[in-house]
Amino acid sequence: MRSELRSFGGVSDVLSEPLYTRTEDGALDRDPLRLLTPPRRFSLERLALLLDGLPFEAEFPPECPWEGVVRHRPPLDLPPLGSSDASALGEEFAAAVSRCLGDAESAVVLLSGGMDSWAVFVHAWRQAQREGRRLSAVVWNLRDQFGKATAALVHRQLRALDISCDLHVLPAEWQALPEPAWSPLGPRHDYYTRLHQATVDHAASIGAGVLLSGQGGDEVLGAWNHLSASLVRGRRWHDLRRYLAAFGRGDSLVEVAGEAAAIAARRLPAHLSFQLYVATALREVVNSGRPSVLSDVYRESVGDWTQRWLADRFTSFQEAGGDWATASLRDSIFPWAYDAHPLGAPIRQRSPFVDEPFVRYAFGLPPASRFRAEGPYPYQWYKALHLRLLPAELRPWLPGYKQSYSDAFRRYVFDVLPEGPLLIGELGLIRPMDRLDLERIHPRLPIVVRNVERWVAGALEAGAEPTAAR
C-alpha cells in the first residue's frame, strides 16, 4: 500500500484530490469508475448522509456513492499541541503557498476580502513578483449582511497595498451562468456551484494552472473551544476574560460549562469525559432536534452510521489522551479537510491552509497562540494567527465581523432549485417536500438536496442503478 500511495503523491495530494479504493482488493485510483465492475450501482444510503443528522449538520464531506468503492482517507500523524514553533508561522505558510503554486506559471486566487483569502493572496503575490509568475484574482460580487459589496471592499484593499493586478469581478447574476458538468466523484458539496464554475472557466480562459483559495483558514488556524486551560497556564488573564465573555455574549452558556469541564476532564473516566465533550462541543451537530427530510428507513440508516462514527471517535479520543483542546481542533479540521474543494472541477485546486505539511505544523501550535484580545473587533481576536500573516497596512481595511451572505444565498437557492417533484423523492430517499419546506428545516438544505438530485440524475443517465437501503 505504501508504494501505491507514493505513486499518487502521498497524503498531501489526498487532502486536495480525492483518491478511491476498491473494497474487494484495495486497488487505488483517482477515478472511481475505473474501480467498478458491471453493473454500476450507487448507494442511496451513502447519499442520505449528505442530507440529515451529524454528517449534514457538521458538513462532512460526501462518502463515495458507488457500491464496492470507498474514499481513501489515510489518517495524518498529527503532532501534540504545543510542539510547533509559533515564530515560524510566516515561513511555514509561505512554503505551503509555494507547494500549492507548484510549477504553474499563472495562478488565480479566489479573493473575498476576508483574512483567509487575503493571507493566501499576499503570500502568492510576493512569490509571483519574485519569480516572474502571473497572479490574478476573482471576486464574487455578493453583498454581505450589511449590504456591503465584496468587489468594492477588495478594490479598496488593493489600493491600500498599492497592488495592481488583474481582478475579475463575477456579478451575482447566476441565472445566466452554466452548471458544472456531472462528475463520477459524487455530488458537489459546495453551494454556489455556478459561480465556482464561472471562476474555473475564467481561470482556464487565461491559462491559469491552479486556482488558490483560503479554504480551511478558520478550521486550521482559528481559535476554537477549550483554550481556557492554555490561557491560564500562560497567565493571560486579560485574554481569558475576553475569551469567556464572548461565550456569554453569544448566549453560549453550554460552552462556558464546557470550558470548565475541560479543565477537570482528565480526572474523569474516559467514557464519561467523552460523553461530556460530545454533550457540550458537539451537541448542535449530534442532536440538532430538526425534523428529518429523509424517509424513515434512511433516517434510521444515518442514525446507525452516527453511532458507529461516535464509537470510532471515542477510540481516537482515548488515543489522544482525552484532551478536549486536541479533540476540538481535530473535529474542526477532520474529516472536512479531505474534501476542502468542490469535487470534479477541471482545474487544480489548492489551499495552503489544507496543505498537509502545514496542517501538521498548525495542529502543533500552542493552543493559546490562536487567541489574542487586541484591537476593537472581537471577531479578529479569534483569528490572531491570521493577522500575523497579513501586512499591517491592510488591517484597517479588513472586516471587523464575520461576513455573511445569507440573503444572497437564499435567493440563489430559490433560483436554482427546480419546482415540482424531485427524482430522489420518487426513489424513496426523501419525504415529499417543496422548497419552503426544505428551507424551514435548514437554510442549507435546499441546495444540498439540489446537489444530490443533480448527481443522481446524471448517474442514472450514465446507466447506473440505485441500490436502496438494506
**What DSSP string describes 56-125?**
HHTTPPPPP-BTTEEE--PPP-PPPTT-S-GGGHHHHHHHHHHHHHTT-SEEEEE--SSHHHHHHHHHHH
Q: Which residues contact 268 (CB under 8 A, 6 or more apart)?
A: 276
212-216, 248-252, 267-271, 421-425: the lowest-pLDDT one: 248-252
**Alpha-carbon span 351 to 77, nearest angstrom:** 20
End-to-end CA distance of the chain: 31
Q: Give the pLDDT band of residue 13 (cuts 50, 70, 90).
A: low
Strand, helix or coil for residue 283:
helix
Strand intervals (E) in 226-355: 349-350
Strand, helix or coil for residue 186:
coil
Q: Identify the sign of the CA torsion 157, 160, 161, 167.
A: positive
pLDDT in tens, 419-436: 778 999 999 999 998 888
Tell me if 225 sits within 8 A of 255, measured CB to CB.
yes
Burial zone of 354 (CB within 10 Å; 0-12 exposed, 13-18 middle, 19+ buried): buried
Q: Which residues contact 208 (CB under 8 A, 6 or more apart)?
A: 104, 106, 107, 108, 136, 347
**Assign residue 418 a region: left if phi > 0, alpha if psi is -120 to 50, beta otherwise?**
beta
pLDDT at 3 over 70: no
User: Domain limits of the chain?
Assistant: 2-76+405-467, 86-220+345-397, 225-336
Which among 399, 414, 443, 413 is positioned nearest to 146, based on CA atoms? 399
Q: Does domain 86-220+345-397 have CATH number 3.40.50.620?
A: yes
* Count of helix runs (H) and strand runs (E) in the chain: 23, 10
pLDDT at 256 over 80: no
pLDDT in tens, 90-120: 999 999 999 999 999 999 999 999 999 999 9
Tell me if 454 sits within 8 A of 465, measured CB to CB.
no
Q: What is the pLDDT of residue 250?
A: 53
Tell me if 359 sits within 8 A of 220, measured CB to CB.
yes
What average pLDDT does this structure show over 7-27? 73
396 vs 375 pLDDT, higher one: 396
434 vs 30 pLDDT, higher one: 30
pLDDT at 290 over 90: no
**Alpha-carbon span 10 to 356, nearest angstrom:** 10
Tell me if 211 sits within 8 A of 348, measured CB to CB.
yes
Name the grid cell of 441.
428545516
pLDDT in tens, 160-184: 999 999 999 998 888 888 889 999 9
Enclosing H/E stretch for 29: strand 28-29
Q: What is the pLDDT of residue 456?
A: 98
Tell me if 206 sits within 8 A of 106, measured CB to CB.
yes
Burial zone of 403 (CB within 10 Å; 0-12 exposed, 13-18 middle, 19+ buried): middle
